[in-house]
Structure 1
């Protein structure tokens, strides 16, 4: 990989709603609703039943379909995926897209390169088996913290299991390249009621997720980077959020979040502008139904590569 993003690459990411960290969208004094109407957007990616990698850029009142990369995965194999990161600045290639996904009961680090013509380079697949025992995973996310160019560069993995156990690993790297191990695993129980989550904050001292429950409540789950792991849970809403099977979020303004909730039963999605989260006083403004069909089995967030992606700060 060479350098940071070129002007053309930055423009390309802005066009699909992945704003580099140096560009803050809207001033903190504006409301969440104004921030959203000023151009906030969420890049909602998915894996189709046929194993294709697809995406939609969701803005207020609109959804634009992005290029579909076909046959990335075996048909029906992907159960859960964390967010993917994209790097358009790879010498000799048109780009690189990678992340982590659970196929069956096994976790894989998955990625692929694009040719200079924008097609998938089928000669260079890069899929690495992390390990088995992931069959009961209901949610997974990779948090990538780097306030470029300042250190540190932190990558953390989170898993939610069906029994309500939330686990965290710290990634340790060799020369900043090949992963050595998923280290310092820590866990906390008590999250069996959670249906799904979305990351809304990533800071030097904590990560925060917005989670809905099967009973309809909405919570923030702050996970300090301290050891032992002790999540801090705050109720945001008491009801009406149970329909969403997937939540995808992106930074909106300096302190807010644009949230997309996806209902698999109705194959529909709704967008929200969420103010800086603070328990039940959090401002949430409905932005309406997203004018698109959401029929894929797996949804997740798409973002720019670490160091160019804006750091979420919704709580």
Structure 2
């Protein structure tokens, strides 16, 4: 309990309070009335900006704060995965980890934050290359499935060309690569559900459709249409937990317009989607990521 409290404190101090309503009762598809999304945004200069978006109508946004400057070289960031925090063993601060594509190389970015104030220790910033050939990736993610506070499954994903790719992450190595073809229409995705046996993503297409894509540990992906039109404008999607459903941010990078939604437990075309409106900000960053505590199972996604 002490470590869990410290982990939540790290999120609160670094990015604002994460508040969620009580989970919906069994069988309920409607999302809870109020949730928040902690967002990490990376600039072209390699700086991190932290924001908290609130699921009010219309949406609201807390003050933007620096999460770290010069974490990456200028004009190199292409896409970024989820931004996970881990409480240090002595609970004196937190470390952060995130997969990022810099140029054409996938890197694991890690660094320490002094105390819970959000001040990055410059000497701790490390970019570990994983491999090349990632310059055309339009989405990456790392799903670390925890049971209690123990890591039970570690999977990495990418969308490149016609394919969704999945690897098992073993330490710093990507192994057991699986390739799923037929996804050239996917514009971008976001992780919405994690279990011991599958991960589920919400994806939009260039033609405007919205789908769930469940990728099991073994077997082929299961694709379900959620909506057939109007979703083509978003270049980035970011999801966070909202009861048994999802809070979803969509960003149109051409205009900088961010829109917020709450989505009930995914169930094909019967999925409940509530548009909350435009967030009162203009976003001008390159990459957007969910900021979460990745050391405990309580912060895992359960949108499908």
More displaced 10-residue stretch of structure 1: 68-77 or 9-18: 9-18
For residues 195-206 of structure 1, what are the structure 2 equivalents within 5 Å? 195-206=187-198
- 1:262 and 2:254 equivalent? no
Alpha-carbon spacing, 1:248–1:273, altered in 2? closer, same or farther (3 Å): same
Cα distance in 2 for residues equivalent to 1:187 and 1:290:
36
SS at match of 1:45: strand
Does the C-alpha gap of structure 1 residues 304 and 92 become closer, same or farther in structure 2, counting only changes over 3 Å? closer
Q: Secondary structure of 2:299's partner?
A: coil
Greater displacement, 261-270 / 114-123: 114-123
Q: Is 2:103 aligned against 1:111?
A: no
In structure 1, runs of 5+ residues without a counterpart are: 174-178
Root mean square deviation, CA, Å? 2.2
1:130 aligns with 2:130: yes
CA contact (8 A) 2:4 2:296 kept: no
Match of 1:244 in 2: 234
What is the rounded CA distance, in whole Å, between the counterparts of 1:224 and 1:251 in structure 2? 20
Q: How many residues align?
A: 296
- Which residue number corresponds to residue 300 of structure 2? 311
- Tell me the CA shift for residue 196 of structure 1: 0.6
1:223 is aligned, of 207, 210, 215, to: 215
Tell me what 1:176 maps to: none
Q: Aligned partners of 1:302 and 1:11: how far apart in 2? A: 13
Cα pair distance change 1:114/1:12, threshold 3 Å: closer
Query: In the TM superposition, what is the alpha-carbon distance from 1:11 to its structure 2 partner?
Result: 4.1
Structure with a larger share of its residues in strand: 2
Shift of 1:216: 0.4
TM-aligned CA distance change 1:302 to 1:246, over 3 Å: same
Distance 1:245 1:234 in 2: 20
Post-superposition CA distance 1:2-32 (Å, at most 9, x none): x96253543453573557xxx9842326663
1:308 CA drift (Å): 5.2
Q: TM-score, normalised by structure 1?
A: 0.87
- 1:309 is displaced (CA, Å) by 4.9
Change (3 A) 1:152 1:96: closer
CA distance in 1, matches of 2:156, 2:274: 30
Displacement of 1:120: 1.5
2:203 and 2:7 mapped to 1: Cα distance? 33
Q: Contact 2:10–2:93 at 8 Å: present in 1 too? A: no
Q: 2:179, 2:221 → 1: CA distance?
A: 10
Q: Secondary structure at the match of 1:32?
A: coil
Q: Which deviates more, 5-14 or 205-214?
A: 5-14
- Which of 29, 32, 46 lines up with 2:30 in the alignment? 32
Three-state SS of the structure 1 residue aligned to 2:8 is: helix
Q: Distance in 2 between matches of 1:273 and 1:264?
A: 21
- Provide the residue aligned with 2:223 in structure 1: 233
Equivalent residues of 1:219, 1:236 under 8 A apart: yes
- TM-score normalised over the length of structure 2: 0.90
- CA spacing shift, 1:215–1:223, aligned 2, 3 Å: same
- How far apart in 2 are the matches of 1:166 and 1:260? 22
